[in-house]
Amino acid sequence: MASTTQTKSNSGVEKHADINWDELGFDLVPADYMYVTKCGKEENFTNGNIIPYANIAISPFAGILNYGQGLLESLKAYRRDDGRVLLFRPEQNAQRMQIGAERLCMPSPSIEHFVEAVKQTVLANKHWVPPPGKGSLYVRPLLIGSGPVLSLVTAPEISFLIHACPVGNYHKGPINLLVEDKTHRATPGGTGDIKTITNYSPVYKAIAQAKARGFSDVLFLDAVTKKYIEEVSSCNIFIVKGNVISTPAICGTILPGITRKSIIEIALGFGYQVEERVIPLKDLFDVDEVFCTGTAVVVSPVASITYGDKRVEYKTGAETVSKKLYDMLTGIQTGRIEDKMGWTVEID
């Protein structure tokens, strides 16, 4: 448990965790409390408990450890200028977890249960929600096969956990992507469209190799033809040409990102034409801007994309479409811009 110091907010005397908020990056600083509940594989979840953050005890034969039966979610809690705390579209994470659970043969919490559990977790860790402008509290719900199994079947016990960690920016500055044409993140008939834990460690090596060459991350191509762009290791991608903003269509291999969905709605509101379509790799070489979206990266401008010996650079900075979208999205998320969409949820 980290120590805490007292700070004052509009909602009264409140403790603020004792860390240097100005240096907050994307390193792990677990918040003090977590949420836990469990149920049998044929049962429905009932309300769980907020408990002090600690290691969990799990069978060596647990489905999650032996067969990867797990889903993750990611969302953030933001502190408004007046000290109150907002969640951004948590019911969307709840819905995505339900779809993933159906695919991985697990029961899942109801949307109301999920949202209430996230609220309780954030409330218990409210002193870990960074001051305005310093970052956010990253919230990580997990749905895992925690019971022991030997055969390839759903674990007899499923656990729904939520833990949290304060974070700053994922990338420092614009990002430089490398097109990865050997490793694939997803395949039709696979799990690219659900947020399963099994989508991540298989791309570690590609990311590590790209980082060793000075790139920020990799951009994956489709596994069948290697001709179309799909997504970056943990975020969706958009391209901008004139008034048209395009992103790969959700058709089985693309994660239906909540930031992706929100940015599409914001862009349409601004009057841009938005296309969800199959995007050939070659389209990257003739666009004005490229940016990535995701809970961790928010809206991150892409400075360059390299494919083989070809490198293309894109516009970044103040006068860009991505900056305009970023400002609106984060304005809504932090309560500085009126939320006409009804996306934010106050936790107290």
Q: Active-site residues: which are they?
A: 195
Residues 127-156 that bind a second copy (CB under 8 A): 138, 140, 142, 144-145, 148-154
Task: Decide whether 107 or 335 has the Cβ nearer to a second copy.
Answer: 107
Around Cβ 288, how many Cβ atoms within 10 Å? 13
Q: Select from 276, 277, 183, 274 the least CA-distant residue to 222.
A: 183
Q: Give the number of residues written for the chain.
A: 348
Which residues, other chains included, contact 179 with Cβ-Cβ below 8 Å and sequence gap of 6+? 218, 219, 221, 229, 281, 305, 306, 307, 308
User: Which of 5, 44, 112, 204 lies at the binding interface for a second copy (CB under 8 A)?
Assistant: 204
Part in contact with a second copy (CB under 8 A); list of ranges 54-62, 79-87, 304-312, 330-338: 54-62
Part in contact with a second copy (CB under 8 A); list of ranges 165-173, 256-264, 286-294, 336-344: 165-173
Phi, psi of 133 (to 5 degrees): 85, -5
Token representation of residue 291: 């940016």
Instruction: Compute CA distances 22 → 19, 78, 159, 167, 290, whole Å.
Output: 9, 16, 35, 11, 28
Part in contact with a second copy (CB under 8 A); list of ranges 50-58, 267-275, 276-284, 319-327: 50-58
**DSSP structure string for 98-114:** HHHHHHTT-----HHHH
Confirm or reject binding of residue 124 to a second copy (CB under 8 A).
no
Confirm or reject binding of residue 68 to a second copy (CB under 8 A).
yes
Task: Decide whether 83 or 190 has the Cβ nearer to a second copy.
Answer: 190
Please, what sign has the CA dihedral across residues 86, 231, 251, 160? Answer: negative
Confirm or reject binding of residue 199 to a second copy (CB under 8 A).
yes
Beta strand pairing status for 298-307 and 175-180? Answer: parallel
Residues 71-90 that bind a second copy (CB under 8 A): 72
Confirm or reject binding of residue 196 to a second copy (CB under 8 A).
yes
Q: To the nearest whole angstrom, how small is the minimum distance from the Cβ of residue 153 to a second copy?
A: 7
Q: Which chain residues interact with a second copy by CB under 8 A?
A: 26-28, 30, 34, 53, 55-61, 63-70, 72, 103-105, 138, 140, 142, 144-145, 148-154, 161, 163, 165, 167, 170, 182-184, 186-191, 196-205, 207-208, 223-224, 233-234
